[in-house]
Amino acid sequence: MKKLVFAIFCLSSLGMSPIPDQTCDSDSFATACIPKLSGGFNFLKSYKVDGVAKDKVEYSYVFTKGTQYLINLCANGSATDGIVVSIFDKERNKVATSKINGQFVSAIAYPCNATGIYYIQYTFDDPSGHCGGSALGFKR
């Protein structure tokens, strides 16, 4: 019985250690991003960007030739809060990014010229809350 009590105590300490109050309501950010898809773009997907316990968040999607895609970013505070969205092709070549020459922008317009699986990757430049949302739209 002592072993049981000791095991519970040790594991409780491990599982319930005090941690900073870092919760991420990425769902709300993702939803808030949808109406920001302007300029004739049709909504396709919204993405939660919860990087509180990660250094990157990644999704994938089949982009098709002849279609223009728009990916935007929503976060707390400043427009992108240090969140960078990048697009990689199936061979992991970077084809687009929202950080150009050190400048952060809140959307990427990507007129796809090659059909295939693409990876939409979110990374975090410090200082960042590692928390946000994003939406993907398309138009022909």
Partner 1 sequence: MLIFAVNPYHMKLLVIGVAAALLVSCSSGKKPDDEAFLQSLENQTTAGAGVDEEVINSILEQIPSPLEISVLLKESGSKYAPEILNSSNNLPKYNSNYKKALNLGVYGTDLGYTNIFGRNADGIKFITSIKSLADELNIGQFFDVETIGRLAANSKNLDSLLLITTMNFNHINHYLQAQSRDNLSVLLLTGGWVEAMQITCQTAVKNPNNKDLREKIGEQKIVLEQILLLFSFYTEDPNMASLLADMEQLKSAYDKVEISYTYKESTMEIVDGVAVIKDNSSTTINITPENVKEISDITNSIREKIIS
Q: Give the residues lining the site for partner 1 (CB under 8 A).
A: 1, 3-4, 7-8, 10-12, 14-21, 34, 42-46, 59-67, 70, 89-91, 93, 95-98, 100, 103, 105-117, 138-140
Which of 109, 81, 82, 114 has its CA nearest to residue 96? 109
Structure tokens at 82: 């240090």
Q: Rounded to the nearest whole angstrom, what is the least distance from the CB of residue 24 to partner 1 in the complex?
A: 12
Residue closer to partner 1, measured from CB, 23 or 126: 23
Which of 71, 53, 52 has its CA nearest to residue 111? 71
Residue closer to partner 1, measured from CB, 76 or 117: 117
Residue closer to partner 1, measured from CB, 15 or 127: 15
Q: Rounded to the nearest whole angstrom, what is the least distance from the CB of residue 68 to partner 1 in the complex?
A: 10
Residue closer to partner 1, measured from CB, 84 or 124: 84
Q: Rounded to the nearest whole angstrom, what is the least distance from the CB of residue 49 to partner 1 in the complex?
A: 14
Q: How far apart are CA 88 and CA 97, in angstroms?
A: 9
Q: Rounded to the nearest whole angstrom, what is the least distance from the CB of residue 127 to partner 1 in the complex?
A: 19
Which of 44, 24, 22, 17 has its CA nearest to residue 33? 44
Q: How far apart are CA 49 and CA 56, in angstroms?
A: 9
Which of 71, 67, 68 has its CA nearest to residue 58? 71
